[in-house]
Structure 1
Amino acid sequence: MFIVSLTYISEISQIDKYLEAHVEYLDKNYEKGVFIASGRKVPRNGGVILAKARNLSELEEVLNDDPFKIHNLAHYELIEFVPTKSAPEFASLIQ
């Protein structure tokens, strides 16, 4: 499992220009079962995605389709972790 931390490297006006396409990209990957949760950082200087991928290269392929990445609007930090405990409603995430 991965935490993807996006930090905007562009003006919010540029982010907003591609926001609808980014949301469509997110929706596509929720349907595929790759993304588990996502949302904006507070303050609004980026976002976070919780992703399930077999390995780092698979996740990088998915992220390469993000309009924010295609248009060089954000920096991506990828943190891999192995969940070993969870609240009961998230037990399916334990590997």
Structure 2
Amino acid sequence: MRSTARTRPTKLVAEPLPAPIAGWFAARGWAPRRHQLDMLDAAQDGVHTLLVAATGAGKTLAGFLPTLADLIHNPAEGLHTLYVSPLKALAV
């Protein structure tokens, strides 16, 4: 199997998580999962990414972390993110 890993350029933001988000995790005794940080890195790099993870693994938070981080670093008025969710994705 061939590795598709690549070296990412230095981030414009030194810390992976903005202080309010890091504080939210710390206040609960939690830490972000690797795939959540990877999604944040990919978004900061402008890379389109598909995340596949088990139920309860934190996919929803992984999807919203880039938006939350960007809103903290670059607050702006108006629409920032449009989130479309299938209502019956798991229906049979």
Structure having greater relative contact order (Cα 8 Å, sep ≥ 6): 1
TM-score above 0.5: no
TM superposition score normalised by structure 1? 0.26
Q: Which of the pair has more CA radius of gyration?
A: 2
Q: TM-score, normalised on structure 2?
A: 0.27
- Larger strand proportion, structure 1 or 2? 1
